[in-house]
Amino acid sequence: MADEDEPIDPSEIGEQDAPPVAEKPYKIVFEANKCFGAGKCAEVSENWKMDISTGIAKPETYFFDESELDHNVSAAEACPAKKDVGVIHVVDRRSNEEIAPDPHGDGTLSVDW
Protein backbone atom coordinates (compact mmCIF):
# COMPACT_ATOMS: atom_id res chain seq x y z
CA MET A 1 0.00 0.00 0.00
CA ALA A 2 1.29 3.45 -0.92
CA ASP A 3 2.26 5.97 1.70
CA GLU A 4 -0.54 8.54 2.09
CA ASP A 5 1.98 11.37 1.75
CA GLU A 6 3.23 10.16 -1.63
CA PRO A 7 1.63 11.54 -4.79
CA ILE A 8 -0.79 9.27 -6.63
CA ASP A 9 0.74 7.51 -9.62
CA PRO A 10 -1.51 8.61 -12.53
CA SER A 11 -0.95 5.33 -14.36
CA GLU A 12 -2.77 3.55 -11.52
CA ILE A 13 -5.88 5.76 -11.65
CA GLY A 14 -9.03 3.71 -12.24
CA GLU A 15 -7.24 0.43 -12.73
CA GLN A 16 -8.98 -1.29 -9.77
CA ASP A 17 -12.36 -1.25 -11.53
CA ALA A 18 -11.13 -1.14 -15.13
CA PRO A 19 -12.23 -3.43 -17.93
CA PRO A 20 -9.58 -5.86 -19.21
CA VAL A 21 -6.70 -4.20 -21.06
CA ALA A 22 -7.28 -6.46 -24.07
CA GLU A 23 -10.83 -5.06 -24.44
CA LYS A 24 -10.14 -1.40 -23.60
CA PRO A 25 -6.40 -0.72 -24.01
CA TYR A 26 -6.68 3.07 -23.64
CA LYS A 27 -7.77 5.28 -20.79
CA ILE A 28 -8.24 8.91 -19.92
CA VAL A 29 -6.65 10.55 -16.92
CA PHE A 30 -8.54 13.81 -16.44
CA GLU A 31 -7.33 16.64 -14.21
CA ALA A 32 -10.87 17.90 -13.65
CA ASN A 33 -9.78 20.35 -10.97
CA LYS A 34 -7.85 22.28 -13.64
CA CYS A 35 -10.60 22.31 -16.28
CA PHE A 36 -11.92 25.83 -16.87
CA GLY A 37 -14.76 24.92 -19.23
CA ALA A 38 -13.50 26.04 -22.63
CA GLY A 39 -15.45 23.19 -24.25
CA LYS A 40 -12.88 22.46 -26.95
CA CYS A 41 -12.92 18.75 -26.03
CA ALA A 42 -16.69 18.52 -26.52
CA GLU A 43 -16.36 20.20 -29.92
CA VAL A 44 -14.03 17.51 -31.27
CA SER A 45 -14.99 14.34 -29.39
CA GLU A 46 -18.29 12.53 -28.97
CA ASN A 47 -16.96 11.14 -25.67
CA TRP A 48 -16.78 14.59 -24.02
CA LYS A 49 -19.80 16.55 -22.81
CA MET A 50 -20.05 19.91 -21.07
CA ASP A 51 -21.87 19.74 -17.75
CA ILE A 52 -24.00 22.87 -17.56
CA SER A 53 -24.38 22.59 -13.78
CA THR A 54 -20.63 22.56 -13.08
CA GLY A 55 -19.32 24.39 -16.14
CA ILE A 56 -16.67 21.75 -16.81
CA ALA A 57 -16.33 18.87 -19.22
CA LYS A 58 -16.75 15.21 -18.43
CA PRO A 59 -16.03 12.10 -20.46
CA GLU A 60 -18.81 9.56 -20.91
CA THR A 61 -16.23 6.79 -20.56
CA TYR A 62 -12.69 6.69 -19.25
CA PHE A 63 -11.71 3.40 -20.93
CA PHE A 64 -11.95 2.72 -24.65
CA ASP A 65 -10.64 0.78 -27.62
CA GLU A 66 -8.96 1.66 -30.91
CA SER A 67 -12.25 2.72 -32.52
CA GLU A 68 -12.55 5.65 -30.08
CA LEU A 69 -8.88 6.61 -29.96
CA ASP A 70 -8.75 9.34 -32.62
CA HIS A 71 -11.47 11.60 -31.24
CA ASN A 72 -10.19 11.24 -27.64
CA VAL A 73 -6.69 12.18 -28.83
CA SER A 74 -8.25 15.19 -30.57
CA ALA A 75 -9.92 16.19 -27.29
CA ALA A 76 -6.62 15.95 -25.41
CA GLU A 77 -4.80 17.98 -28.05
CA ALA A 78 -7.54 20.64 -28.23
CA CYS A 79 -7.65 21.30 -24.48
CA PRO A 80 -6.26 24.80 -23.78
CA ALA A 81 -5.96 24.40 -19.99
CA LYS A 82 -2.57 24.43 -18.24
CA LYS A 83 -1.19 26.93 -20.73
CA ASP A 84 -2.14 24.74 -23.71
CA VAL A 85 -0.61 21.56 -22.26
CA GLY A 86 -4.11 20.31 -21.45
CA VAL A 87 -5.77 18.43 -18.62
CA ILE A 88 -6.98 15.46 -20.67
CA HIS A 89 -4.42 12.69 -20.94
CA VAL A 90 -4.86 9.68 -23.24
CA VAL A 91 -2.82 6.77 -21.90
CA ASP A 92 -1.97 3.43 -23.50
CA ARG A 93 -2.65 1.02 -20.63
CA ARG A 94 -0.34 -1.63 -22.12
CA SER A 95 2.74 0.58 -21.74
CA ASN A 96 1.51 3.39 -19.42
CA GLU A 97 2.70 5.86 -22.07
CA GLU A 98 0.88 9.10 -22.72
CA ILE A 99 -0.31 9.26 -26.30
CA ALA A 100 -1.74 12.76 -26.07
CA PRO A 101 -1.03 15.51 -25.45
CA ASP A 102 2.51 14.18 -24.70
CA PRO A 103 4.15 17.62 -24.33
CA HIS A 104 7.49 16.03 -23.42
CA GLY A 105 7.49 13.97 -26.63
CA ASP A 106 8.59 10.82 -24.84
CA GLY A 107 5.36 9.25 -23.55
CA THR A 108 5.86 10.26 -19.93
CA LEU A 109 2.67 11.22 -18.18
CA SER A 110 2.27 14.98 -17.99
CA VAL A 111 -0.29 14.86 -15.20
CA ASP A 112 0.46 17.64 -12.73
CA TRP A 113 -1.26 16.99 -9.38
Buried b (16+ CB within 10 A) or exposed e, 1-12: eeeeeeeeebbe
pLDDT category, 8, cuts 50, 70, 90?
confident
Count of CB atoms situated within 10 Å of the CB of 64: 21
Domains of the chain (ranges; CATH) run 18-100 (3.30.70.20)
Per-residue pLDDT band at 60 (split at 50, 70, 90): very high
**pLDDT at 111 (0 to 100):** 86
3-state SS, 29-65, equals EECHHHCCCCCHHHHHCCCEEEECCCCEEEECCCEEC
